[in-house]
Amino acid sequence: MKRIRYTKYIGELAGDMDLEDLMQLLSDYLLDSGFQNPMMQFQELNGEHTLENLREALRQALEGGDFEQQIRERIEQMAAEGEIERLIDQLIQRMEQQDYVRIDRPQDPSRMANSPGEIGEGDGQARFEVRDKALDFLGYKTLQDLLGSLGRSSAGKHDTMHQATGVETNGSTRQYEFGDMLNLDANATLAAAMADQARAQAETEEGGPIHWPIEIDYPHLHVQQSDYQSSCATVVMLDCSHSMILYGEDRFTPAKRVAMALSHLIRTQYPGDTLNVVLFHDSAEEVPVSQIARVKVGPHYTNTREGLRLARSILNRQRKEMRQIVMITDGKPSALTLPDGRIYKNAFGLDPLVLSETLEEVARCRRSGILINTFMLATDPGLVQFVQRVSAMCRGKAYFTTPQTLGNYLMMDFLNRKMKTVH
């Protein structure tokens, strides 16, 4: 008699592992900002996006990652059997299939033998590109971690002290004006019509009860009011001068993470808002929000004035009632773009010319109604004094924080502005 023996099905480990958890483990490597620390994980990879480096990053993540006990045991078993390389190949294949990365493999010279032109030697290395899906996920995870630490759920839109005729009423009414949403308050409208008719009867000395039907005219219309909610335009100014990775501390990667989280929050919870990103160093330039994670630190100087000028220009094009600049920096202004395009530099910072021109740009932001909130990652006395002057001029806030607490401070400030009345 033929017998069938059933056993528990154990699938491929690469298919059972959560790719999102794996991407979180790889985030330090994928968001590398050029910080050199021999004690840091993935440091020997130097941020190069070669396929071999990705394989090594996965190998390190599998060895040191915090996995469930069952997954950990299976990883150790495959390592003991010499199957870890096959697991890494399968994970890379899954990451490519699910659009987390794109692999650019070098072309086979033998296939190009019949093609016109010369065949270059090339470096022969396959490379990979982190896809937008992966970067968006990392922004979401950062936002989730930040909001979780603050004990907050998703927030609503910007509340103001004004009122409007919307869908969610607040119990108050007013007379209808042309252009209002026709959210009629039937009781108030009927009461206004009855009072008008009673006055008319009293003037004609008819007196007595009100005659029916009651005629309702345009002046009698009353509408229900809701809290007026405004939209906000935000420019995040990221200092990407070389000091952001000096002094044994990576300050730029946490700043990038916070910008990614803020982008995800605005896109998902505040669709009427806008977010732009300006990098400032020797000069300043705007970068697409989608490219934040790929940015690395650059030149050595800090041209705060040029960053503010570009941010103000961007915000002046936005038709928003609330406009703000969120500046994340760790250095004193040390560079200035001259009228002829040349860049004046002073490595010591707080040069009188640079300082006066920077504060003049702050004054222009104030006259344009732009709020500047500064998140400072250093506590140099001269720098503290400069930031305090900027905050006083623009009625903004200054936060002296660390890379570890930057996200909490920035998200608390941003969300509190949503919930407070805008005066």
Cα separation of 380 and 413, whole Å? 23
Own/partner contacts of 272-276, CB < 8 Å, gap of 24 or more, are 272/157, 272/231, 273/231, 273/232, 273/233, 273/234, 273/320, 274/231, 274/232, 274/233, 274/234, 274/318, 274/320, 275/234, 275/235, 275/236, 276/233, 276/234, 276/235, 276/236, 276/311, 276/314
CA distances from 97 to 15, 87, 93, 103, 111 (A): 12, 15, 6, 10, 25
Q: Which two tokens stand for residue 149?
A: 């630490």
Least confident residue range of 159-163, 352-356, 377-381: 159-163
State which of 34-43, 134-143, 389-398, 400-409 shows the largest mean pLDDT: 389-398
What is the C-alpha separation between 69 and 58, in angstroms, rounded? 18
Instruction: For residue range 262-278, list pLDDT tens digits in order.
Output: 888 888 877 778 889 99
Percent of the chain exceeding pLDDT 70 equals 76
pLDDT of residue 64: 82
Specify which of 72-86, 97-111, 117-131, 228-242 reaches the highest per-range mean pLDDT.
Answer: 72-86
**Greater confidence, 285 or 50?**
285
Give residue 367's pLDDT. Answer: 92
Please give the Cα distance from 34 to 241 (Å, whole number).
12
| Residue 363 in this model has a pLDDT that exceeds 50 | yes
The residue-averaged pLDDT of 379-404 equals: 83
**Residue-wise pLDDT tens digits, 72-114:** 888 888 889 888 999 999 999 988 888 888 888 776 555 544 5
pLDDT at 153 over 50: no
Residue 155 has pLDDT above 60, yes or no: no
